[in-house]
Each structure stands twice: as C-alpha cells, then as structure tokens.
Amino acid sequence: MASVIVKEASRAPATLILAVIKGQVGGTYSSSVEILSSLPSETYLAMTAAQGSNSSQTSLCKNCGHRLDSDETELEASRSKFSDTISNILNSNEPPPLDEIDSMRRCLSAHERAARNVEEEITRTKKYLQSLKAERRELEGYIKDQRAILNPIRRIPHELLSHIFSMCVEHAPMTHSTVFRNSLAADRIEWTLTHVCSQWRSVALALSSDFWSKAHIRLDSTSSRFGGHAMLLGLRLRRSSGKPLSIFIKRGNLDASSTEHSLLATLLLYNDQWSGLRVDLKSTELQTLLSAVKPPLPALGTLIFRHPKQDDPNPREEEVEESLCDIFRNAPSLRDVSLEHFRNPLKIPLPYHQLVSLSFAIAGNSFKISQLLSVLRLSERLERLYVGYHFIEEENPDDLGSVVRLPSLEAMEMYWDYVNTTIEEVYRGGNQLVNWLILPELNNFWDEGDGATAGSVSLDCIASLHERSGRALTGLRITVSDTDEEIARSLKGHAALTSLGIVKVGGSFTKQIFEALKIREEESERLLPKLEELTLQGSMAFDAVSLVEMVESRWQLSETGFSEVSCPSRLELDCDAKEIPTNIPYAFARFSEDCFKSLNWVFSA
C-alpha cells in the first residue's frame, strides 16, 4: 500500500495522505516519511495548514479530560464567558445587560439542545445496559442449570442415598429425655425430602423402619375433629409399612371435656404396631380418651407416662387429678415402664410381674415406703429400678411387711430432692427402704442427692446390702459428706468395684483419698484393685501430684504383670465451680504422655 501511495502521491488528496501519516491507513513510519518527501511543496503546505486547523478545533474537557468536538468547545466557551455574569446577576435582582441578552439566549438554546442530546444518549445507554443485564441473567441461568445437571449428587446410588436419609432421623429409643418434634409440621425432614425430586421421593418412601415409624403428635382442640392433620398422620403411619411404631403424645391446648380426638383415633387404628409410647397427659385425660376403646396394645414394650408437674407439694385433695387409668393393665409385651410426677403410681395398674425395668419419679410426700415395697413384691423379674422420691421413715416397721427379694435386679438408682422434708427424715427413710431389700444380682448402685446435700443412704447401709445380698458391686455412685478417711474405710468391703463415682458436699477431697487408693507392691491389702473408672465431683483441696502418683502406681503394677490390679481407663474431676487442685497443669502434662494414651482424662472447673 505504501508503494502505491508513493507513486500516486502527487495526485492523492491531502486528507488521505494525512490519514496514512496518522496510522489510520496501513503503512509504517518509514513509509510515511517516504510519502512526505515525495510530495510537491504546495501539497505539503496545504496538508500542514489543514492539520493545524484541525488541531485548533479540538480541545480537552477540563472536568473529565475527553476530547471535545467544535460544538462542545463552543458550549464550554460560552459557559465560561457568561459564568461570572450569571453568578453576579443571580446574587442580585438586576436584569442581564441588554447587549448580551441575544448572546445569552443563543447560548441557552444551544445548551438546551445539548441537554436533549445527553438525555437521548442516557436513554440509549439505559436500553443497552438493560440488554446487557438480560443477557447476563440468561447466561447465569444457563450456568446454574448446567451446574445442577453436572452435580455429583445426581449420580449417588440409591443405596447410599437411603443410608444418608436414614441418618437424618433420630434412632435412639424412646426415653424420658426424648425431645418432642411434631411429626405433622411441614418442615419436618421426612416431608421435605419427599418433595425434592422423584428419585428422592422414591428413596424416602422406601424407608420405613426409622424414617416413618416415629409419630410425635400434639393434642390440641383445633385438631380434635377429623381433618387435614388426621389425614397427614394416617399417611405417615401407612408409610411405616407395618413396622414397630414409636409414639409420643403431648398435651396442647386440649379441652378438658374432650372425650375423643381425631389424631388419637387415627393412632389407635395402628395400635398393634405400638412398640414404644410416651404420654405427657393427665391420667384422667388419657382414661377419658381411651376408656371406650381400651386398645389391646399387643406389641407395646416401653411406656413413659408423665403427669404434668405440679408445683405445690401439698395440694388439696380435689386438686389432685389422678384417677384410675387401667389402659395398660393387660399389655402383654410391656417390659419397661417409667411413671413421672404421679403422687400415687398405684392408680396406674400395670402388669408388674412381667416388667424388667421400672422407674418411679414420685411427686408429693403421701406415697409410703410400704406401698413401694408392695409394688416390688409383684416385680420379681426386675433388672433395673429407679426411684426418685423423698420417702419418710415409717414409724411402725410391721407395716412394711416381709423383706423384698428381687432375684434379677442388676442396677438400682435412688434420687432424693428433699422437697418438704428434712435431710434427717430422708436419710432415715432411705436407709429403711434399702434395709428391706435383698438383691443377689445387684452390680450397680447409685445414690444421688440434689447436689447440695448428702445422699439418702449411709455407706454402712450400702455395705450391709452388699453383705446381705451376697453380691459384690462393680459400680457405685454415692453422694456423701463423709471425710476421705471415712470414705476409704467404707470402700474396703467393695474389692470388686470397677467404677466409682463420689459427689462430695459439705467438705473437700484431700490428698488422703489418693493415698488410700495408691497401690503399693509390698502391701497385701489393696483398696479397690480392680478400679478402672473414677469420677470425683466437688471441692478439691489437694495437690494434683498426688493424683498422678495414684494413677502411676496402678499403671506400673498392671504393666508389670499384677493381674489383680487394673489400669485406670477413665478419670474425671468435676470441681463444680468450687476449689480446684493445685498444680493441675502438671497432671495435664503427665497424662498427655504416650504411656497414658489409653487414659480418658477429663477435668472441668
């Protein structure tokens, strides 16, 4: 192209040649020099003049720095020309000079045209911006769809998806600590997973054992008549596919005069599948709702019946709404029963002869030790017994009847809250109850108070139970106010203990407890040689070095072949916000060494 221009340069228009020089048409700098050198002098002078006139017509905006054309330059000049005049006139009430009115009007018209042009440019720019945003939304939608299609979750096998879904629901059996979760709530995970896609729905519907076999319902007056809630509950129960059901019935704003309820009626259609039942209702309400039907409950194995807790320990007789509730009298498979906050559990007739686990958390103070013993005489198959109450010693021992023997009982737990009774009364009542028991298979015994006072049974009474039953305890948890020396002396008769928990009130643990538990090779009489788990709770006034030495003494003998000495596997200290041991960092440092890696060491202040 450059050679062509050189040959024809004498006839080329000046504007074209100038464009070549500026690089707007192909060519290089050297080519441009050749062109200029070959131009006639008159042509070169014309080009130079044209370029000068063009450069004089362009300028830069003082605000943004962009190149202004001639019209924009004129507008800028006119604004500058009249700016001082306009400012002075605006600050007064004077008219503009007569000789400048026409010029100012022309300037105004020019600026109005410029404003309209800017507005049109803004409109075009907005439309272009909107088109760009629409294009961006389209691209983002495409990207989202593509990512969803390529998501690895679409390739998860049904078996793995089924396992994941099953982990979304609670697998623990029904207990007194089970948290109520309304099964009819729309945000429950079971309903949500069935509305994601057809694949997830089919996987969720195929799960029946734990996914659909738990039904937690609240009995409200609003749902007493048959409607959507009852239909939803029926759908859930049908999806259980005949598997055992775990039922939780909770009282809502139920009308006291209700004799029927749609949700309960729906549940009763599947009563042959009930395996676990928790009821948080008054006994009068449950009896009223079920007495007309009295379901056979052939598969019911676990019952937790909680009466609404009453704050007044001594209400008037007419305020105690505990009428006879015989719904569960003939449940053939019932084995595990927990009655909570009842003043008289005997008003709930049960097949005691077949129970293996019984828990009484009794309210008030009218229930007698003799009444509890009469229940235990019917419960010869019991393996676990929990009693939460503040029994008062009965003055006439003849009212207690004969000693109660529970040949299968392996674990017994007693809890005392000292409501409306003195510590001395509870202490005497607890000892009286334990002294009337023979437990030949007892392995674990727990006696816990309210954390502020001692337990209900003396250490001597526990030792007497052990001697009378002829069975060595392997697990013991006690709440005491005895000194460490007294505790150590009482523990000498429990050589088979593997787990020991001591809650101390009214005093502190001292170095003496660890000196007593330290194992020495030269000593033939050793305290608790089989001990593997030790839990201490309360104030601790000792040096942690003595604790470490006790653990080391047992560890060393066990490692050197003394089979009668066990290695500690768990050690827990709970200072209960009281005095903590000195040198506790030393214990942390020692127990973090490799030789103690199998020791579960827990400390809380």
Q: What is the pLDDT of residues 492-515, one digit of tens each?
A: 888 899 999 999 987 899 999 999
Structure tokens at 226: 């048959």
Q: Rounded to 10 degrees, what is the CA torsion of 213, 179, 479, 496? A: 30
Q: pTM for the whole thing?
A: 0.71
Structure tokens at 263: 């949700």
* Interatomic CA distance for residues 328 and 27, integer angstroms: 105
* Interatomic CA distance for residues 339 and 303, integer angstroms: 8
Going by DSSP bridges, is the β-strand pair 302-306/600-604 parallel, antiparallel, or unpaired?
A: unpaired
Q: Give 89: exposed, middle or buried? Use CB within 10 Å, 0-12, 13-18, 19+.
A: middle
Residue with tokens 């298979």: 441
Does residue 215 carry a pLDDT above 70? yes
The backbone torsions φ and ψ at residue 155, rounded to the nearest 5 degrees and listed phi first, read -105, 5
CA nearest to 563, candidates 523, 596, 530, 524: 530
CA nearest to 183, candidates 217, 207, 138: 217
Segment 68-121, tens digit of pLDDT: 555 666 777 777 777 777 777 888 878 888 888 888 888 888 888 889 999 999
Residue with tokens 């054992």: 209
Which pLDDT value is given to residue 18?
A: 47
**Strand intervals (E) in 460-498:** 475-480
* Interatomic CA distance for residues 332 and 340, integer angstroms: 22
* Interatomic CA distance for residues 222 and 483, integer angstroms: 59
Helix axes 459-469, 423-435, angle to 10 degrees: 10
Which pLDDT value is given to residue 308?
A: 84
Residue % of the chain over a pLDDT of 70? 84
Segment 424-449, tens digit of pLDDT: 778 888 899 999 999 999 999 998 87
Which pLDDT value is given to residue 316?
A: 47
* Interatomic CA distance for residues 316 and 326, integer angstroms: 24
The overall average pLDDT reported for the chain is: 82
Cβ within 8 Å of residue 305, ≥6 positions away: 278, 279, 283, 286, 337, 338, 339, 340, 342, 348
